[in-house]
Every structure is written in C-alpha cells, then in structure tokens.
C-alpha cells in the first residue's frame, strides 16, 4: 500500500520544496517509487508537462529528483498571480478562470475534489508520495476550507513533518508558536520537526532541539546545515531574485529588469552559473546599467501592465539607449511581446480590453487571443544552427515583417520569434533557451565570453545527488520513512 508523508513549514521559503526534492532523490536511490505532490501552489515559475499542462517549477524539479516524468497531478491547483489581489487558477494543468483572493476562498471546496483525484492517481503508481505544503499551517485565518496544509493532511490522514528555518532567526518561537496557534487535532497530525539552514557548530543548538521537542512533543528529525549549492537548482519563488548583485569586473554584464509579475525567471539560471558572465537583476528604482553587454526582457504574467511599469521606471529609455550603442536585446515570451510596435488585448484576457504601443524595436504586433500554448519544443537558431530544447507557455499571436526573419526553427520546421533588420534585437516565445549547453555557448560567444566546461543539466543531477547525501547525513531518513503512513482514500475503511 502506498505511504505518504507531508512536509509543511513554519512559513514560506523555509526550504520545503528543496527538502522534498532531496528526499525524493534519497528515497528513489533506495529503490522506492517516489512521487512528489503539492495540493496547491502559488508561483509564476511554471513548467510544461508532457500531457500539455502546467505545474509549479518546484514540482518539476522534484519529479526530476524522483527520476519520473512531471505530471499535472503532481500539482493539481496552481495559482498564478496577476495582481496584488487576484490570480489565474490552473486546475490539473489547465486554467479554469481568474479569481480574487476572497473569491478564491469559496472555490476551495470544489477544488479539493480535484486535489484528491490527483492524489489518488499518483498514489496508484507510487510506493511513497512526498507531499509539500504551502505557506504555513499557522495561517489559521485561512484554515477553513484549506486544501494546502492541514485541510489536506486531515482529509487524507497524511502525517506531517514541520520545517523551520533557523537562518531567519526565531526558529524556536516559529515551531513552538505554530503548535500554540493551530487546532489541537491539526497539531496531532505533526509527528516531527526539522530545523533547516543551520550555520556554525551544530552542538550549539542541541539544547534548542531538545527544547522544541519538549515543548511540542514532536520528534526531532534533524538539524540540516546550510547547503550552498542549493542556489544552483531552479528556484520557485521570486524571493530568489533578492540575491546580491552579481556584477564582476572584467566579464560581460547581462541585465534583467525585474518586472512586478516576472514569470519563468529561471530561464536565466544557466547564465547565472556561467563564470564568464555576470547576471544582474535590475530592481525598481535603479537604471539599467549602461555597461550592460546584453539586456534580457524576461517573461511576464501580465505583459501590458508590466510594460507600463517598464515605462514608469524609465527602463524603456535605457533599453533604447542600449540599442543605439549597438548592443543586443533579447525578449523572452512577454519580453518578446514588449519589443514590438503594439500589444493588443481585445478580449480583456489580462485585464481591461486595450491596446498599447510597445518599444517598437521589432516590427511586429501582438494580439492576446486563443488558448494558452503549452508544449515542449526542440530546434535550432537559424543564424548558427545551435540546438536548443525548451517549452512554450504563452497566450497571444505575434505577426509582422520581422517574423519573416525568425530567431528559431523548431524540429518540425515551424519558425519562432523575430530578429530586427540590424540583427541587434531578437525575441522568442521559447522558455529554457539557455539550458542547452550548445545554445548557451553560442550566446556567450556573441558576448565574447567563454562557456564553462560543465554541462548545466549534468550539474543539476550532481547537486541533487549531493543534496540527497547531505540529507542522509543530517536527517533521520529511516525514521522519516517510518513516519509515512499508508494512504486510504477518504470514505474507505
């Protein structure tokens, strides 16, 4: 019978996603059929599945760690923020609508049916399902109708391990305080705790582990030291964009404006790991550096609103000046749409119906319409034949004279993207372009930078294995496995 264990956290970004990935690799190496599962996720970093749906990027990484193909059932409910108070709602890989935060609360009872359906499907093919919570169970104001944390745990009888992040400070209070504020029946589902991201001498926190265990009655399952190479794995949350500025002397600088609804910014991860270039994410209130060798306009969940933000920051002026200096610009998906002459949303897909002028650096026009395109693609760049593999995830059709000089050609012969007449400005709908070593090497060559000798994809595999080793060393993985309980479908005996 399939067993299940849920990893919840005292807050967001305490390391739940990465811990599930590391445990998935560790238990897969023991010969178990492991499947990751996250009932509800909120992220604009998404991945395309083979069955033409989308899930959170973290669940795609966890599937990779478990050495299985990502499925829409690994993340049945995905919320993609479109504004400060509303989000697109994606259920089992497909968007079903847009809801404001308060409205979404009334959707949860019917969404739980989809969550349980997906969990049943995954459980049928697994020995162990590792479930990741969302946010924190201490958000008791959201407990009614919850599908992401204790609501799911209680509905399925899945025991919980609670994770606290000591690097933030206050980890004792966050763990003990969680028990203090949640319902006693919810607290009874928590069987143990993990303290994550410890730095220094672990013996200095042995009393802290004992105190938490004494106050809560939960089993101490391990103190996990900080793992620096975690930064080499694709991030899920935009908090990763808060990393220190990466500018270094003597190497070309790639500048990426941080849009309010930036999406799939992990497109830049392979470049960030190249020693021959520096990637800087330009924060609001800062100009795009004049010394940038390349500007990349990233993907966006709301292209029109985010382009208005580009103008408000004065980044449009910086980009135009950059091109006048004879330096290249690359637009990815929403960034590609911003480079054209106009962006039209006649049906109000992203908000109120409207048409706005773009940067005009590409002689193309975009109309938001049709179904979202979600598909994995392979091909090559037309200019040099460098291969790539990636995925499309967009709404909108882009047409115009510059599309007659496409940037890419897919394996099935279709063209994609556009290149300006002078060759300086290009755009594409393909995400993941830089992950292919040969494609990335071609871009680095254009910047006069040498590529690293390490394969990006092989590097991810190495880090996953090393992190699994790290967890096997510092966690009681045997006890974690023993805590996982057989899953019985709700309503069965």
Catalytic residues: 333, 431
Determine which helix (DSSP H) or strand (DSSP E) holds 80, and give its type and residue range. strand 77-81
Neighbours of 404 (CB within 10 A): 11
3-class state of residue 400 by DSSP: coil
In 192-338, where does DSSP find H-type helix? 206-216, 269-272, 303-313, 315-324, 334-338
432 Cβ neighbours under 8 A, 6+ residues apart: 267, 388, 389, 390, 391
Is 477:483 a contact under the CB 8 Å cutoff?
no
Is 440:270 a contact under the CB 8 Å cutoff?
yes
465 Cβ neighbours under 8 A, 6+ residues apart: 25
Q: Which of 253, 396, 269, 279 is nearest to 337 (CA)?
A: 396
Q: For the residues of 62-78, what is the DSSP string, one character each?
A: HHHHTTS---GGGSSEE
DSSP state of 422: T
Per the DSSP assignment, residues forming a β-bridge with 295 are 255, 329
CA 385/CA 411 separation, integer angstroms:
12
Q: Which of 437, 397, 118 is nearest to 270 (CA)?
A: 437
Neighbours of 127 (CB within 10 A): 17
Outline where DSSP puts E strands in 319-475: 329-332, 342-345, 354-357, 365-367, 373-381, 387-394, 397-399, 408-410, 415-416, 418-419, 425-428, 430-431
* Residue in this structure with the two tokens 């400060």, named with its chain if needed: 84
In 124-226, where does DSSP find H-type helix? 150-156, 171-181, 184-187, 206-216
DSSP state of 318: H
CA 398/CA 394 separation, integer angstroms:
11
- Dmax (CA) of the chain: 71
DSSP state of 475: B
CA 192/CA 217 separation, integer angstroms:
8
438: buried, middle or exposed (CB in 10 Å: 19+, 13-18, 0-12)? middle
Is 410:377 a contact under the CB 8 Å cutoff?
yes
């Amino acid at each position: 019978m399939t067993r299940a264990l849920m990893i919840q956290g005292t807050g967001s970004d305490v390391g739940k996603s990465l811990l599930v990935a590391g445990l998935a690799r560790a238990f897969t190496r023991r010969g178990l059929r492991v499947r990751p599962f996250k009932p509800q996720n909120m992220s604009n970093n998404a991945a395309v599945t083979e069955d033409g749906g989308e899930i959170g990027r973290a669940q795609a990484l966890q599937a990779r760690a478990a050495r299985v193909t990502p499925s829409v059932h690994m993340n049945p409910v995905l919320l993609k923020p479109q504004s400060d108070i509303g989000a697109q709602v994606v259920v089992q890989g497909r968007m079903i609508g847009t809801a404001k935060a308060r409205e979404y609360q009334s959707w949860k009872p019917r969404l739980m049916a989809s969550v349980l359906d997906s969990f049943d499907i995954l459980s049928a093919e697994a020995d162990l399902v590792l479930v990741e919570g969302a946010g924190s169970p201490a958000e008791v104001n959201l407990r009614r109708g919850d599908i992401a944390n204790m609501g799911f745990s209680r509905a399925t009888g899945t025991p919980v391990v609670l994770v606290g992040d000591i690097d933030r400070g206050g980890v004792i209070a966050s763990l003990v305080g969680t028990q203090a504020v949640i319902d006693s029946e919810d607290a009874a589902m928590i069987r143990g705790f993990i303290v994550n991201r410890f730095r220094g001498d672990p013996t200095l926190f042995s009393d802290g582990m004992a105190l938490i265990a004494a106050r809560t009655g939960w089993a101490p399952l391990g103190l996990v030291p900080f793992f620096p190479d975690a930064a080499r794995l694709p991030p899920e949350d935009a908090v990763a964009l808060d990393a220190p500025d990466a500018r270094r002397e003597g190497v070309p600088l790639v500048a990426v404006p941080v849009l309010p609804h930036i999406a799939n910014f992990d497109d830049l991860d392979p470049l960030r790991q190249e020693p021959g270039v520096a990637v800087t994410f330009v924060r609001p209130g800062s100009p795009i550096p004049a010394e940038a060798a390349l500007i990349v306009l990233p993907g966006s969940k709301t292209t029109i609103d985010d382009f208005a933000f580009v103008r408000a920051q004065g980044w449009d002026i910086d980009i135009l000046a950059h091109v006048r200096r004879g330096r290249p610009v690359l637009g990815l998906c929403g960034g590609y749409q911003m480079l054209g002459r106009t962006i039209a949303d006649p049906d109000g897909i992203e908000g109120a119906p409207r048409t706005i002028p773009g940067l005009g650096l590409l002689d193309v026009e975009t109309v938001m319409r049709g179904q979202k395109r979600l598909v994995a693609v392979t091909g090559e760049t037309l200019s040099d034949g460098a291969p790539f593999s990636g995925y499309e995830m967009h709404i909108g059709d882009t047409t115009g004279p510059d599309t007659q000089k496409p940037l890419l050609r897919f394996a099935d012969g279709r063209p994609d993207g556009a290149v300006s007449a002078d060759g300086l400005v290009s755009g594409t709908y393909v995400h993941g372009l830089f992950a292919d070593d040969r494609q990335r090497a071609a871009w680095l060559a254009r910047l006069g930078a040498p590529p690293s000798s390490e394969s990006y994809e092989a590097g991810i595999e190495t880090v996953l294995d090393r992190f699994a080793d790290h967890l096997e060393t510092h966690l009681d993985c045997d006890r974690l496995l023993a805590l996982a309980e057989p899953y019985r479908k709700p309503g069965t005996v």
